[in-house]
Structure 1
């Protein structure tokens, strides 16, 4: 079982390899691919790949991610100083945004950022595909996954929600393209659906690139080390088939929301992408996918789950 060391993920733009920073030595865990969709002719024709977790796996994930473990996971990671572009968010609490804790394919405790969105089942959460599974490798999937909305300095005011299934483009599974994912989470221990408790962000597909974007994430930069939500603000521009904004958040912010039309008073906006990759080890730009028809199919699979 992994200890409190962590392996942070935020890809370098244009590269398949992940940017990983490890703490102490870790025991390797071999992920079990049995819960993933079979990769056969029928599966290959489906543009969406779905990773499912059993009821027992979900119970074990909730038991594993104790408050102490959540608090400890960032202590062995330091990806440099925060800012100057990224700044701590001091506005209204973004109840729909939280930390996505999981154990990665190497057996290390780690996290990403994720967002509850409007959905038919009131249980859909958007993040990056590389927070769910390794690209170009169908069997290498993360596990023990829980979403903690409004996480802040060790506090989880709305509890933790076990991830029941994780949908992603099959193109990510096959060749590391289209880095986005939509999760379906269980109700909480009292039977309450996620967005009934924390609200949700609107979501848009096929939206033209441009305008002011607020990007949020639990970056593993100091002094926050994933314990506080950071924000970057900038104008989105097309770049090499994706979109980019000025931002220097790092690992841990992966999957964090790109909110257009963001209202700082209400904390509401329109989700148009998520943090996917950086331009360099010393970042100046954050990249996000341009969400089109495939992204909509991924989202639909999650909101119907």
Structure 2
């Protein structure tokens, strides 16, 4: 994500439908899919040597135009206007979950190393990609449960240049990344999905989300290898959430470790038209795309994705809302 200024979006919420199993695909408009060929995936694996991983630049999010207010008329747990029925997809346990330890105690605006182990330690990971100019960059992402057991949620600006429409190449995801290690291997993207509105609006952060469909590795899907977090659409806002990312500052381990924040989210009232929600914490460049989770169990490391780190402003980081447009994107990606 960011860091200096950015924003994460909000959740649009409603109530009702509980869906314990992944939902099936449905036709949708407003979705842009980029397909990566087998030869391109092989090239991506060759491209990402250890040296290139170390030299990749932590991607900064677009700068927010103004600092948000941390209070408004919207308080407490409530549904966003115009949201649809809630859809929840339960987490998928990992085949082997890392040993757990007591979760760290965090102060506001103070990301700290995640030492609690559990499902988040296998399903959070680092993204690497290359732009048209040859630059190499790093973001964060989280495995989301889906029919194909092969999806990660990340930020739109970690998939496509909103100013040009250029979709990035040599896109890979390393689950459980830590200090240059690839404990579960390197998964290559077979398809990248972003919202058309993100490009047509030249990067409106309300649409700054994307999904990547990862190809199997050694005959196994991503989900069957590391498990998957649950994901919720049109869910309630104004509750406690946890965010995870690979921030690139020295205090965050220079992008080499997973960091964690938590807090009760509030609406982004500082920018006109924003539907994003955030917490009092700021993770720096490289954390873009990292997951925001609600109903997070610090003992098991599992919860429900409700957004991704998008941008930050002042002492706040924000996530875009996972509403009906995000649900359409997810359904298309989950059927790929």
Which interval holds the TM-score relative to the shorter structure? 0.7 to 0.9
Distance across 2 between alignment mates of 1:141 and 1:122: 23
Q: Give the structure 2 partner of residue 300 of structure 1.
A: 331
CA change 1:174–1:11 in 2 (3 A) is: farther
User: Runs in 1 of length 4+ with deviation above 6 angstroms?
Assistant: none
Q: Select which of 44, 48, 54 maps to 2:37.
A: 54
Distance across 1 between alignment mates of 2:113 and 2:334: 31
Distance across 1 between alignment mates of 2:209 and 2:56: 24
Q: Give the structure 1 partner of residue 129 of structure 2.
A: 102
Q: Give the structure 2 partner of residue 199 of structure 1.
A: 227
Alignment of 1:251-266 (within 5 A): 251-266=285-300
Distance across 1 between alignment mates of 2:219 and 2:326: 29
Corresponding residue pairs, total: 257
Q: Give the structure 1 partner of residue 105 of structure 2.
A: none
Distance across 1 between alignment mates of 2:198 and 2:39: 27
Deviates more, 1:65-74 or 1:114-123: 65-74
Q: Are 1:49 and 1:173, in contact at CA under 8 Å, matched by a contact in 2?
A: no
Q: Are 1:74 and 1:225, in contact at CA under 8 Å, matched by a contact in 2?
A: no
1:255-303 Cα shifts (integer Å, max 9, x gaps): 0000111111111011000000011xxx411011111110001111111
Distance across 2 between alignment mates of 1:252 and 1:171: 23
Q: Give the structure 2 partner of residue 68 of structure 1.
A: 51
Q: Are 2:109 and 2:280, in contact at CA under 8 Å, matched by a contact in 1?
A: no
1:26-52 Cα shifts (integer Å, max 9, x gaps): xxxxxxxxxxxxxxxxxxx92111122
Alignment of 1:80-99 (within 5 A): 85-93=110-118, 94-99=121-126
Q: Give the structure 2 partner of residue 113 of structure 1.
A: 140
1:184-216 Cα shifts (integer Å, max 9, x gaps): 00000x111000010000000001212111100
Distance across 1 between alignment mates of 2:144 and 2:247: 21
Q: Give the structure 2 partner of residue 248 of structure 1.
A: 282
Q: What SS does the corresponding residue of 2:254 show, helix, strand or coil?
A: coil
Q: What SS does the corresponding residue of 1:225 show, helix, strand or coil?
A: coil
Deviates more, 1:59-68 or 1:126-135: 59-68
CA-CA distance at 1:230 after TM superposition: 0.7
Distance across 1 between alignment mates of 2:131 and 2:142: 20
Q: Give the structure 2 partner of residue 166 of structure 1.
A: 192
> TM-score, normalised on structure 2?
0.72
Q: Are 2:3 and 2:283, in contact at CA under 8 Å, matched by a contact in 1?
A: no
Distance across 1 between alignment mates of 2:153 and 2:180: 22
Q: Which runs of 5+ in 2 are unaligned?
A: 8-27, 61-107, 269-273
CA change 1:233–1:105 in 2 (3 A) is: farther
CA-CA distance at 1:68 after TM superposition: 3.2
Q: Select which of 183, 186, 192 maps to 1:157.
A: 183
Distance across 2 between alignment mates of 1:169 and 1:152: 30
Q: Are 1:10 and 1:276, in contact at CA under 8 Å, matched by a contact in 2?
A: no
1:64-113 Cα shifts (integer Å, max 9, x gaps): 112332234369x9xxxxx9511111111510110011113432111100
Distance across 1 between alignment mates of 2:127 and 2:3: 14
Q: Does 1:146 align with 2:129?
A: no
CA-CA distance at 1:136 after TM superposition: 4.0
Root-mean-square deviation (CA, aligned residues, Å) is 2.0
Which fold has the larger relative contact order, with Cα–Cα distance below 8 Å and residues 6 or more apart in sequence? 2
Q: Which runs of 5+ in 1 are unaligned?
A: 1-7, 15-44, 78-82
